Amino acid sequence: MSRIWVFGCVLVSVIAALKTLLVLHFAFAEAEAAPSMAVVSGLFALFFALTAVVAYVACTQLARHVVQKRKEKLAPGMSEPIAKETVILRHAPDWGLSQAEADVAIFVAKGFSNSEIAEMRGSAITTVKSQLGRIYQKSGLESRYQLIAFVTDEVVSMAREVEEPATKISTQDALPLVGRRKQHVA
């Protein structure tokens, strides 16, 4: 990050110096006396400040634009791909999943076994199992089959949103899995 600041300061300084030289060249080209050091320093300071403000505003606007585009990618109905990854990435912040947990959830939703996930991620099977436990705890789901079913239902729901935007039904509202326990018939 410090390299970016150093590069930005150098770039602003170079641009301010060029502006100063251009103004001095055209303003004092026909003057008999050379401009004083105070005039040169003042012009450079003025151009440095103006260029720095413009660069700061441009960078903050660009950063805001990038964040907005990322949010639009994950927002429903905003030309997002209808995929299992999208469902997990949409729900991961609500569930409080870490990036590693979201990755494991995506692999589970795609049908990979714990050992396959561990091999692909370069981690131990026990790590994958503990991450799955945290995923189930945070999401309110109880098993990989509920996770797969939830993701599948959400993908179908997203596909329906694209076809019929007026009839939006969230799977969580229609089939709440949180707090649902198996009832034993005696």
Name all domains of the chain by residue range, CATH numbers in brackets: 2-74 (no CATH), 84-174 (1.10.10.10)
Give the pLDDT confidence score for residue 69 in this predicted structure.
Answer: 76
Write out pLDDT tens, residues 36-62.
889 889 999 999 999 999 989 998 998
Q: Which two tokens stand for residue 52?
A: 């720095």
Residue 185: is its pLDDT beyond 70? no
Tell me the residue length of the chain: 186
Question: What would the pLDDT profile of 103-155 be if each residue is shown by its tens digit?
Answer: 999 999 989 999 999 999 999 999 999 999 999 999 999 998 999 999 888 88
Tokens of 41: 């320093």
- Is pLDDT at 80 greater than 60 in this prediction? no
Confirm if 84 and 155 have CB atoms less than 8 A apart.
yes
CA distances for 39 relative to 21, 28, 31, angstroms: 12, 11, 14
Question: What percent of the chain stands above pLDDT 70?
Answer: 79
CA atoms within 13 A on the CB side of 185: 0
